[in-house]
Amino acid sequence: MGLPGNLKVAVVGATGAVGTEMLRILEARAFPVDELVPLASARSAGRTIRFDGREVAIRELSLEALRGADLSLSAAGASIARGFVREAAAAGTVCIDKSSAFRMEPDVPLVVPEVNPEALEGSPKIIAVPNCTTIVAMMALAPLHRAAGLRSMVLSSYQAVSGAGRDGTRELAEQVEKLHDQVEELGRPDLDALPVGDVFGKTMAFNVLPKIDSFAEDGSTGEEIKTVNESRKILGIFDLDVVATCVRVPVPVGHSVSVLARFSRAITPGEARSLLEEAPGVELRDDPANGVYPSPLEAAGRDEVLVGRIRQAPDHDDALLLFACGDNLRKGAALNGIQIAEHMFSTG
């Protein structure tokens, strides 16, 4: 792949969990950044970040600061994205946004490059990066879907606290610090004495919370609704039969999904393993007898989505169970966005 050598690249949310990872990945992949424009809130303006051996001053996000940028990679939240992305795109900047603001807009492609790169045809100016859980699930399922036609899926997620940004990680760390010597007492906890923070709303340390985002009228959470809708859009199966339960777990980095997937024809675990072994961006970890199966700590800091525990669903030769883990900050957000940018600016 060839890339032009003189891109002016804005990173919006450069101080955040995803933004920090974007800067690392831009450097590591030698993305051709001629001029970096790191943007954040007024709180961070004037601070510097180190990029490519230089100190670069962070500026407050504004359309003026984005002027002339070839590319904007943004991870600053949906309401902030709504405030600048359409205008910046109209001014000629390719905007790759990691928030939920534009994902379901009909004119905005929602892209995982290994899964639906064709959605990038026609040089769109705004491209949305899917939700981190959806990306992990799609990386594992798309190769199987291409071969056997996905008909339905039941998904449960186990999502890391860094999915809620820097504040989520900090909240877990503070609570673990407070509770680490009370592990036995937590068998009969004094609920009123447990630490509760603003991010998760209940104690996150030594606990799991089946609530990510707010509850909708039907009892689903926002995260579950995103997972369902985005899976349908990415795969282009608008009537896909899919349900999700999304759960926050006290893991620093790495989202996991357990999936029951049903296909249009019979498919064996052996065929699924062969397909996943060949799939770009996927690493098969499926030898349970020898202790080989995915876990989030093994996926953290890695580019690949790890897939294993592949089993036939009892009495259903067209259905499989599997477990997959991916780094929510990398493939779930920053890396996926930069891979999209590499496609968009590729000259090869």
Q: Which residues bind ligand NAP (CB under 6 A)?
A: 13-19, 40-41, 43-44, 61, 75-78, 80, 98-99, 132, 162-163, 165-167, 328-329, 332-333
Match 């080989």 to its residue by tokens: 292
Which of 37, 267 has the CB closer to ligand NAP?
37
Whether the CB-CB separation of 253 and 301 falls below 8 Å is answered with yes
Helix (H) or strand (E) holding 73: strand 71-74
Is 343 a residue of the active site? no
Residue 27 CB, nearest distance to ligand NAP (Å)? 17
Coil, strand, or helix at residue 76? coil
Q: Which residue is nearest to ligand NAP (CB)?
A: 16
Which of 96, 276 has the CB closer to ligand NAP?
96
Residue 24 CB, nearest distance to ligand NAP (Å)? 13
- Long-range pairs for 49-52 at CB < 8 Å and ≥24 separation? 49/14, 49/15, 49/23, 51/23, 51/26, 51/27, 52/27
Give me the DSSP letters along 80-126.
HHHTTHHHHHHTT-EEEE-SSSSTT-TTS-B--TTT-GGGGTT--SE
Is 325 a residue of the active site? no
Residue 12 CB, nearest distance to ligand NAP (Å)? 6
Residue 103 identity (one-letter amino acid): R
Which of 13, 113 has the CB closer to ligand NAP?
13
Which of 227, 275 has the CB closer to ligand NAP?
227
- Strand 150-159 relative to strand 126-128, pairing: unpaired
Residue 261 identity (one-letter amino acid): A
Q: Measured between alpha carbons, how far is 87 from 103 in angstroms, rounded to an integer?
A: 17
Whether the CB-CB separation of 164 and 270 falls below 8 Å is answered with no
Residue 144 CB, nearest distance to ligand NAP (Å)? 24
Residue 328 CB, nearest distance to ligand NAP (Å)? 4
Residue 301 CB, nearest distance to ligand NAP (Å)? 13
Residue 99 CB, nearest distance to ligand NAP (Å)? 3
Catalytic residue among 95, 246, 255, 325: 255
Which of 98, 248 has the CB closer to ligand NAP?
98
Which of 171, 286 has the CB closer to ligand NAP?
171
Q: Measured between alpha carbons, how far is 132 from 18 in angstroms, rounded to an integer?
A: 11
Coil, strand, or helix at residue 200? coil
Residue 325 identity (one-letter amino acid): C
Alpha helices in the chain (DSSP H): 17-28, 63-66, 78-82, 85-90, 132-148, 165-179, 222-235, 269-278, 296-299, 335-345
Which of 41, 258 has the CB closer to ligand NAP?
41
Catalytic residue among 132, 145, 246, 325: 132
Coil, strand, or helix at residue 133? helix
Active site (catalytic) residues: 132, 255
